[in-house]
A and B are shown apart, each in its own frame.
Chain A
Amino acid sequence: MKLTYVYCIVRSARRPSVPRVPPMPGADGIRVMSAGGGLWLIVSDVPVQEYGEDALSRGLHDLQWVGRRAMAHEAVIERFLKARAVLPMKLFTLFTSDERALNHVKRHSRRIERVLARVDRQLEWGVRLTFDERAGKSADDGASKARSAKAARAETGVGYLSRKKDLRDHTRLRLAQARSAGERWYRVMSRQATAANRRKALEQTEHGSRLIVDAAFLVPARRSTAFRAEVRRHARDLSAAGVAVALTGPWPPYNFVSSSSGRSS
C-alpha cells in the first residue's frame, strides 16, 4: 500500500517541472499535483512499510535514518526556491491518498494563502555571529608579549594573578563589546529585511567561541545579492571586534511559515 508523501506547496503561474533530484528513500519518484489557483503539491508515493506509523516510530530512534530523509526532503524543496513562493512541509507529512492531501490543503486554504503572501518572492538567509575569545586576545598579542617578556623574570605570585585577572577582565570587556556590536548589527540588518527572527543564543559553542547572534532573515529575492553584500560589508567591521560572521542560504522560509513566526522586526 502506498502513502502520499508531501514535500512542499508551491505557488507558480505555470506547472513546475519535476525536480531532477532523488526522491525520499523508498519512493517511486516525484510528482507535481495541481491544487488549483496556481498552487501545486510536490509529492511522492512511498510504501507504508517504510513510512507508516510503525516504521516511523522505529526510524525516529535512528539519527542516520532521519538524517538521510531530512536531506532528501530538503533537496526536493530547494529545487523550488526560484518559484514565486514555496511552503516547506514538516518532515513526514503523509496522507493515505492524493485526494486526502488535496482536501486537507483546501480545508486550510485561508491559512496557506496567508503564509504564501508573507513569503511571496522572498528568500530566507541565516546568519550566525560568533565571538572568538582567542581572536580577541591575539589582536593584543604584540603588546602583551612585550610586556610579559619584560616582566617574566621579575614576576611574583601576586603579579601573576594580577596579570591573569587583567586578561580575564579584558576578555570580558571584549565579549561585552562584541555583544553590543552584534545587537547593533542585528537591528541594522533587520531594517533591511522583510522580517527577521532570532534564536536566544546563550550557549557557548566550543571552548573559546561564543554564539552571540543566531538569526534568520526574510529578504525579497530580487535583493539577494545586495543583502549578501551588506552582510559581507558588516563582517569586515565585526571582525575587528573579534566577531566571525557565517552566512547560509538561500533557504526555504522555514523560520517564517509557522503561525507564531514571521513577525516583521
Chain B
Amino acid sequence: MLGDEDASLLDIVDNVLNKGVVITGDITIALAQVDLIYARLSLLLCAADRVLPSEDPDPMLRRRARRARRAPANRGA
C-alpha cells in the first residue's frame, strides 16, 4: 500500500468484511457474527482514535464505546 498514511488493519478489515462483491457462496456467515465483529471493531477504533459511524442501536454498546473513548488506547489486536 502506498500513501501518506499507512492504511490500518481496521480499514482493511472494514473493507473486506463489509464491502467487496457479494457472491452468495456455499458457506454463509451468519449476519449476527459479522455484527459482532463490527461491534468489537467500533470499540477498537474508538480506542485507536478513529471511529466508524455506528449503525448499532444497542444502547449498551454505545455506552461502552463512550467509555472506551475516554480510556487509554490499547492498540494490540
Which residues of A are in contact with B by a Cβ distance under 8 Å? 3, 6, 9, 51-53, 56-57, 60-61, 63-64, 66-67, 70-71, 73-74, 78, 87-96, 100-101, 104-105, 108, 112, 115, 126, 199-206, 209, 211, 245-252, 254-255, 257-259
B71 contacts the other chain (Cβ, under 8 Å)?
no
Neighbour of B49 across the interface among A100, A108, A112, A206, CB < 8 A: A206
B60 contacts the other chain (Cβ, under 8 Å)?
no
Distance (whole angstroms) from the CB of B77 to the closest CB of chain A: 5
Contact between B13 and A96 (Cβ–Cβ < 8 Å)?
Answer: no
- With A and B bound together, what is the CA distance between A249 and B54 in angstroms? 24
Contact between A94 and B26 (Cβ–Cβ < 8 Å)?
Answer: yes
Which residues of B are in contact with A by a Cβ distance under 8 Å? 1-7, 9, 11-13, 15-30, 33-34, 36-37, 40-41, 44, 49-51, 53-54, 69, 77
| Interface contacts beyond A60-B29, A92-B25, A205-B49: sample of 16 additional A-B pairs, CB < 8 Å, sorted by A | A3-B27, A52-B27, A60-B36, A63-B37, A64-B77, A70-B17, A87-B21, A88-B16, A88-B20, A92-B27, A104-B25, A126-B11, A248-B1, A251-B7, A254-B15, A255-B19
Distance (whole angstroms) from the CB of A78 to the closest CB of chain B: 7
- With A and B bound together, what is the CA distance between A254 and B71 in angstroms? 32
Neighbour of A251 across the interface among B9, B15, B18, B50, CB < 8 A: B15
- With A and B bound together, what is the CA distance between A248 and B3 in angstroms? 5
Listed A/B pairs (7) with beta-carbon separation below 8 Å: A53-B27, A87-B20, A203-B53, A249-B2, A254-B16, A257-B21, A258-B22
**Can you name the residue of chain B whose Cβ is closest to the Cβ of A259?**
B22
- With A and B bound together, what is the CA distance between A206 and B37 in angstroms? 22
Contact between A70 and B33 (Cβ–Cβ < 8 Å)?
Answer: no
Contact between B23 and A250 (Cβ–Cβ < 8 Å)?
Answer: no
- With A and B bound together, what is the CA distance between A209 and B12 in angstroms? 22
Contact between A60 and B37 (Cβ–Cβ < 8 Å)?
Answer: yes
- With A and B bound together, what is the CA distance between A6 and B24 in angstroms? 11
- With A and B bound together, what is the CA distance between A187 and B24 in angstroms? 36
- With A and B bound together, what is the CA distance between A197 and B1 in angstroms? 20
Instruction: Decide yes or no: A60 and B27 within 8 Å by CB, A126-B7, A254-B19 being known contacts.
Output: no
